[in-house]
Amino acid sequence: MIRRIQMLINGAWLDALSEDWTVIHNPATGDPVAEVPVGGREEARMALEAARRAFPDWASAPAEERANLLHRAADFMRGRLEEISRWLTLEQGKPIRDARKEIALAAQVFDYYAEEGKRIFGEWIPTGSPHIRSLVIRQPVGVAAVIAPWNYPVELLAWKIAPALAAGCTVVAKPASAAPIAATEMIRALHDAGLPPGTINLVLGPGRTVGAELVENPISRKIAFTGETETGRWIMEKAARSIKRVSLELGGQSPMIVCRDADLEKAVAAGVRRAFSNMGQICISVNRIYVAQEIADAFIARFVERTRSLRIGNGLDPEVELGPMFNEEVRRKTREHIADAVAKGAWVLCGGCEPEGEEFQRGYFFLPTVLAEVDHSMRVMCEETFGPVAPIMRFRTLDEAIALANDSPYGLAAYVFTRDLHTAFYIAERLEAGGVGVNINDVTELQAPFGGWKESGLGRELGRWGLESYLELKHIRIALDTPG
């Protein structure tokens, strides 16, 4: 019999009221991994009510006490790292080394916010009268509903749960229905660390019912969401009815500009890694590469060579660099984007299809794909593919590259490769993106804000900005009489 997981509501592990179960399958093999309860609106309501009851005590607990519990949970996660990472690879497909990194980073996020929560300072404000004092304090916003997707199911939940709890909010968490196992193990670490009942709750079930209840129910005062732009738009509309606080981390279509003076080897290595790791199923993936005409031939040749050398296979194999895609839906969309590009004149330089061989027959494998002769009429250059495709386009001037990079409704991440400081700043300051990587292929830094411009989102996670988004300001104005 395969493993069953449960929801956590008010400190108790529960099945769905309906007693319905769904089976999670390994995307590399199709084998069943675990059974998961299919909760509904009622379980979401129960969890919200538990969180509401737990809120006053948690909100008024000393920051030190909250910090100790969060550190303890982080220690439990590290102690169970191998087990949780294995679940993550089994349910999501990513290589085990990337799964380990994700769990370790999630634990680090809990440690970071444990300490950051001790620095929720107030302010003393100058006033217009010698008899008036003004203080500003920061207080937790209330019950936070946090909703995450399947591509980084543990880390993206940690980015929300850790600052929420550190701020004094109580939490109802909803992981993606199709990848809830490792996320459940993270919640178990919090539970085992001794968080009071109702402080952290976990609900499992479809977004359209469980997720919608978390958004629509007036108990939640803050929604933190990562997922598709369309879902984010819907959440924002619903949240508007009761003016809830929202943080939205949505889709991306990240450009990479490779200037003529770039370190070619570094740019190729960085581009290949960021275009294909997690099979391109990353919101800050390199989705479009613009390379200076003068070095384009050399860059493309090295890029294709390096792409061909990537080892693809079952993520549990420690040597594997690329696992399967997550499901047939994302693989089909990838195929469609490639077919659309080819129909409009693109060339497939490598990949473009499934790998051959017995070991790939049962999983959602797909070869990392490099496209040339692309332009902005193609879907792969303007929609989020969320698959392992790197389209490469040439440019002549920096202004042309910047205009192409900004020609998108998205604005999450962007990358520039150049050895010249002036060029780096010229481009970085003109790109419409929440994060710009200069000679680096990642814009994620624990202490720095992460989030998108334009349709890539609203608000910021990580750093002190991530914590602020779970806090309300309160002005306390005090009239003083003259003593005696």
- Show which residues are catalytic: 249, 283
For ligand NDP, the closer of residues 197 and 206 by Cβ is 206
Least separation, in Å, of the C-beta of 327 and ligand NDP?
9
Among 39, 207, 313, 459, binds ligand NDP (CB under 6 A): 207
Q: Does 171 bind ligand NDP (CB under 6 A)?
A: no
- Separation of alpha carbons 144 and 198, rounded Å: 12
Q: Residues 51-77, buried b or exposed e (16+ Cβ, 10 A)?
A: bbebbeebbeeebeebbebbbbbbebb
Q: Does 255 bind ligand NDP (CB under 6 A)?
A: no
Strands, sheet with 132-140, edge to edge from the N-terminal-most edge strand: 123-125, 132-140, 471-479
Residues in 211-230 at the binding interface with ligand NDP, rule: CB under 6 A:
211-212, 215, 226-228
Among 37, 368, 452, 466, binds ligand NDP (CB under 6 A): 452
Only segment of 206-214, 335-343, 389-397, 476-484 that touches ligand NDP (CB under 6 A): 206-214
Assess contact for 436 and 405: CB atoms under 8 A.
no
Q: Does 161 bind ligand NDP (CB under 6 A)?
A: no
For ligand NDP, the closer of residues 418 and 456 by Cβ is 456
DSSP for 318-362 reads TT-SB---S-HHHHHHHHHHHHHHHHTT-EEEE--SPPPSGGGTT
Going by the DSSP 8-state scheme, the letter that residue 454 receives in this structure is E
Least separation, in Å, of the C-beta of 206 and ligand NDP?
4
Please report how many Cα atoms fall inside a 13 Å half-sphere around the Cα of residue 212, on the Cβ side.
Answer: 7
Assess contact for 231 and 392: CB atoms under 8 A.
no
Assess contact for 77 and 103: CB atoms under 8 A.
yes
Among 142, 251, 315, 391, binds ligand NDP (CB under 6 A): 251
Least separation, in Å, of the C-beta of 427 and ligand NDP?
22
Both tokens assigned to 161:
């749960």
- Separation of alpha carbons 19 and 7, rounded Å: 12
Assess contact for 340 and 378: CB atoms under 8 A.
yes
Q: Does 355 bind ligand NDP (CB under 6 A)?
A: no
Only segment of 14-22, 56-64, 172-180, 257-265 that touches ligand NDP (CB under 6 A): 172-180
Q: Does 384 bind ligand NDP (CB under 6 A)?
A: yes
Both tokens assigned to 227:
């997922």
Sign of the alpha-carbon torsion through 445, 289, 304, 379: positive
Among 177, 418, 441, 469, binds ligand NDP (CB under 6 A): 177
By CB under 6 A, the count of residues binding ligand NDP is 34
Q: Does 252 bind ligand NDP (CB under 6 A)?
A: yes
Q: Does 149 bind ligand NDP (CB under 6 A)?
A: yes
Q: Does 250 bind ligand NDP (CB under 6 A)?
A: yes
Q: Which residues contact ligand NDP by CB under 6 A?
A: 147-152, 156, 174, 176-178, 206-208, 211-212, 215, 226-228, 231, 234-235, 249-252, 283, 384, 386, 412, 452, 456-457
